[in-house]
């Protein structure tokens, strides 16, 4: 199982710490660096939130090895025509290292603050599916795309220049909903990214996804399986316990139902092994302290 790092972009991310993390993650040997796409944090006070696609453009041309991408970029912020054009260009710039994570949007506060229409849950997912259809067609086929939907209307639209990678950057859909998310993954995604769940739950949804893929005449290995989850890692038990506060917990047992990894190196290794057995091929570990480079180095040295 590959190990990557995930940063919450809305929790104080700026150019200084983004550039520092990019270099450190690449130098330490992690598989990738991912980040959320939010305009602001869910609760005040407001913090720095470096614009996602500008940040990824810098990353594409200032790293050589790591894979990267948004977890995830909402279609409620950006029109799918702009999203797919940016994703294709950034992927080409990086030499084919972008994973194109997209989502429906969820955070009420930022949509109200910046005049984005989040929509109710049913309409939100209907809009998301229309956007997925359009972006999937633009990436996968060279023919002009015409689409008449409730939310989007395209007329002989083309994506030029064509992506250098056949089919463009892989589309990632994140989430754990069996009724909405997994069926969308089976139809449109190249990667499923589960979010905050126990290994047993992941294994159940993984099996369900195999069944859905079979129904769409897609082999199971056509979709990569990944997971984003929290991490309370410490070089000793006291340090690990101090990090419980990141997740509003006072006891490690409170983290288990949420699939958050806790402990020193040996405990982290055991929990990673359980996720690997559940079918996770790449895990994105949420690193919440943007000032703690020493802790990230310790994680790489003792676990990676």
Residue 114's pLDDT is what? 96
Residue 97's pLDDT is what? 98
| Phi and psi at residue 230, to the nearest 5° | -80, 165
Residue 100's pLDDT is what? 98
Contact present, 243 and 232 (Cβ < 8 Å): yes
Domains and CATH numbers, the chain: 2-302 (3.20.20.30)
Neighbour count for residue 300 (Cβ, 10 Å):
17
| Half-sphere exposure (Cβ direction) of 80: Cα atoms closer than 13 Å | 26
Scored b (16 or more CB within 10 A) or e, 230-249 reads bbbbbeeeeebbebbeebeb
Q: How far is CA 76 from the centre of its chain?
A: 16
Q: Which pLDDT tens digits describe the chain residue by residue (304 residues)?
A: 999 999 999 999 999 999 999 999 999 999 999 999 999 999 999 999 999 999 999 999 999 999 999 999 999 999 999 999 999 999 999 999 999 999 999 999 999 999 999 999 999 999 999 999 999 999 999 999 999 999 999 999 999 999 999 999 999 999 999 999 999 999 999 999 999 999 999 999 999 999 999 999 999 999 999 999 999 999 999 999 999 999 999 999 999 999 999 999 999 999 999 999 999 999 999 999 999 999 999 999 999 9
Neighbour count for residue 138 (Cβ, 10 Å):
27
Residue 113's pLDDT is what? 96
- Those residues with Cβ within 8 angstroms of residue 83's Cβ, 6 or more apart along the chain or in another chain: 73, 75, 102, 131, 135
- Those residues with Cβ within 8 angstroms of residue 8's Cβ, 6 or more apart along the chain or in another chain: 35, 36, 38, 286, 288
Q: How far is CA 159 from the centre of its chain?
A: 24
Residue 135's pLDDT is what? 98
């Amino acid at each position: 199982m590959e190990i990557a790092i995930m940063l919450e972009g809305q929790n104080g991310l700026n150019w200084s710490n983004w550039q520092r993390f990019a270099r450190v993650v690449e130098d330490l040997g992690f598989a990738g660096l991912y980040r959320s796409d939010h305009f602001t944090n869910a609760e005040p006070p407001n913090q720095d939130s470096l614009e996602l696609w500008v940040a990824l453009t810098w990353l594409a041309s200032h790293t050589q090895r790591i894979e990267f991408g948004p977890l995830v970029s909402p279609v409620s912020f950006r029109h799918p025509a702009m999203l797919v054009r940016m994703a294709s260009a950034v992927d080409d710039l990086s030499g084919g290292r972008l994973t194109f994570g997209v989502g429906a949007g969820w955070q009420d506060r930022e949509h109200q603050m910046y005049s984005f229409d989040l929509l109710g849950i049913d309409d939100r997912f209907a809009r998301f599916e229309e956007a997925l259809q359009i972006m999937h067609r633009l990436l996968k086929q060279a023919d002009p795309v015409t689409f008449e939907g409730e939310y989007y209307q395209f007329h002989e639209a083309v994506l030029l220049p064509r992506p250098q990678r056949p089919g463009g950057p892989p589309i990632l859909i994140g989430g754990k909903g069996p009724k909405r998310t997994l069926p969308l993954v089976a139809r449109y995604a190249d990667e499923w990214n589960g979010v905050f769940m126990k290994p047993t739950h992941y294994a159940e949804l993984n099996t369900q996804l195999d069944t859905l893929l079979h129904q769409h005449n897609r082999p199971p290995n056509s979709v990569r399986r990944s997971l984003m989850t929290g991490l309370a890692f410490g070089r000793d038990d006291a340090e690990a316990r101090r990090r419980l506060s990141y997740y509003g917990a006072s006891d490690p047992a409170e983290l288990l139902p949420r699939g958050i990894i806790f402990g020193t190196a040996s405990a982290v290794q055991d929990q990673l092994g359980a996720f690997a057995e559940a079918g996770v091929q790449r895990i994105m570990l949420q690193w919440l302290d943007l000032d703690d480079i020493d802790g990230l180095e310790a994680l790489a040295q003792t676990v990676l």
